[in-house]
Structure 1
């Protein structure tokens, strides 16, 4: 275990903040089916384009393309509706549901780039109970890698974001977490290639446990040490 990983497992946190897609559940197949149709319709190189969609809000992904005559808001709404209607193959990351169930309800939040309706649909499909606190695409004006979403998630839990551990899988989310000043645990369950990162990594949640001390701080533990 690296020094940085050891620090994450040794440090107590006020709360945990979780990204959703790729971190708590795998929605890659469903998302890529919808985005492939969109990319084909707009004459984009589908394979190259699909590498840019993960972790970001749909409206930000569309806006970045700079396509003439395209209304990002209307197109993002089309994407959202299509994704809500296609949750085939959406499944929880191994051990995620049980791990979340072990956490105090007022000490974790979901911070996702997905709109709320889509987030609720995918959580349901994956068998994950929605949390009390959620930050979704509608809650921020600038999405990841801007840190505003994670700062807001911590605020809604009543804690400082610097006292939180963020679970993320995508580069834009990792950068948002870093910019917010939070520690990061990278979830690699859906990665097809190794990710070069200075942060500790997990492939699933089965070996993780959480202990809560008398002051209410959470400490993450790995069953294998």
Structure 2
């Protein structure tokens, strides 16, 4: 864990907003199996393409390829169905399950680029109980890095997004959190190479606690020295 003394540990928040894949659970192997099949079918450079898929909605990833004759909506539906079928190896990030159980249910939301059915399937596979408030791919017209998803998550919790802390792992999600006006903390559990960012980072949740004060605000505490 880095930057223990940074502002996210000094600040108090109305709510926490969590990305899912790479932030609360590791689904990289499953996602890359499905996307590899799709990329090979369309003649793409698979390693280069896989580097672009994380954190974004499937429909946005497909549309960016600008493949002639490809229906992005239909292809995204195929991806979603294939990913729902393949959850082998999907596991929670270290400490995430216990950490989430300590949070008041009305003070955190899941904000994911995955469709709702896939989000619920992966949460189940990872042993994470779904929160009362979810924002999924279907809920916004523009996916990350557009901030609409995080703004909507805060709205559904009834709090200003500027009073929230966003937990993210991917560049597009970090940019969405920044653009929303929220503070951001980066989860590096699935990173193979360092991500250059000005935000504090955590490798997992094992050494993280959240305390709710008398005013009902949440504050993070790092238990590592």
| TM-score greater than 0.5 by the shorter chain | yes
Separation in structure 2 between the aligned mates of residue 211 and residue 90 of structure 1, nearest angstrom: 29
Separation in structure 2 between the aligned mates of residue 133 and residue 113 of structure 1, nearest angstrom: 14
5-14 vs 34-43, which moves further: 5-14
207-216 vs 51-60, which moves further: 207-216
Give the equivalent residue in structure 1 for 2:202.
202
Query: 1:6-25 to 2 correspondence within 5 Å?
Result: 6-25=6-25
SS in 1 for 2:109: strand
Give the equivalent residue in structure 1 for 2:36.
36
Where in structure 1 do 4 or more consecutive aligned residues deviate above 2 Å? none
Give the equivalent residue in structure 2 for 1:79.
79
How many residues were matched structurally? Answer: 224
Give the equivalent residue in structure 2 for 1:170.
170
Separation in structure 2 between the aligned mates of residue 2 and residue 138 of structure 1, nearest angstrom: 35
Give the equivalent residue in structure 2 for 1:118.
118
Superimposed CA distance per residue, residues 39-65 of structure 1 (whole angstroms, 9 cap, x where no aligned partner): 000000000000000000000000000
Separation in structure 1 between the aligned mates of residue 153 and residue 125 of structure 2, nearest angstrom: 23
SS in 1 for 2:6: helix
SS in 2 for 1:219: strand
Give the equivalent residue in structure 2 for 1:65.
65
Separation in structure 1 between the aligned mates of residue 111 and residue 207 of structure 2, nearest angstrom: 23
Q: TM-score, normalised by structure 1?
A: 0.98
Q: Name stretches of at least 5 consecutive residues in structure 2 with no aligned partner.
A: none
Q: TM-score, normalised by structure 2?
A: 0.98
Query: 1:127-138 to 2 correspondence within 5 Å?
Result: 127-138=127-138
The alpha-carbon deviation at position 2 of structure 1 amounts to: 4.0
Superimposed CA distance per residue, residues 165-223 of structure 1 (whole angstroms, 9 cap, x where no aligned partner): 00000000000000001100000000000111100000000111111111100010011
Alpha carbons 2:123, 2:130 under 8 Å: kept = yes
Alpha carbons 2:3, 2:201 under 8 Å: kept = no
Name the Cα RMSD after superposition.
0.9
Q: Name stretches of at least 5 consecutive residues in structure 1 with no aligned partner.
A: none
SS in 2 for 1:34: helix
The alpha-carbon deviation at position 77 of structure 1 amounts to: 0.2
SS in 1 for 2:145: coil
Separation in structure 2 between the aligned mates of residue 91 and residue 64 of structure 1, nearest angstrom: 29
The alpha-carbon deviation at position 6 of structure 1 amounts to: 1.9
Separation in structure 2 between the aligned mates of residue 26 and residue 178 of structure 1, nearest angstrom: 23
Superimposed CA distance per residue, residues 81-109 of structure 1 (whole angstroms, 9 cap, x where no aligned partner): 00000000000000000000000000000
The alpha-carbon deviation at position 224 of structure 1 amounts to: 1.8
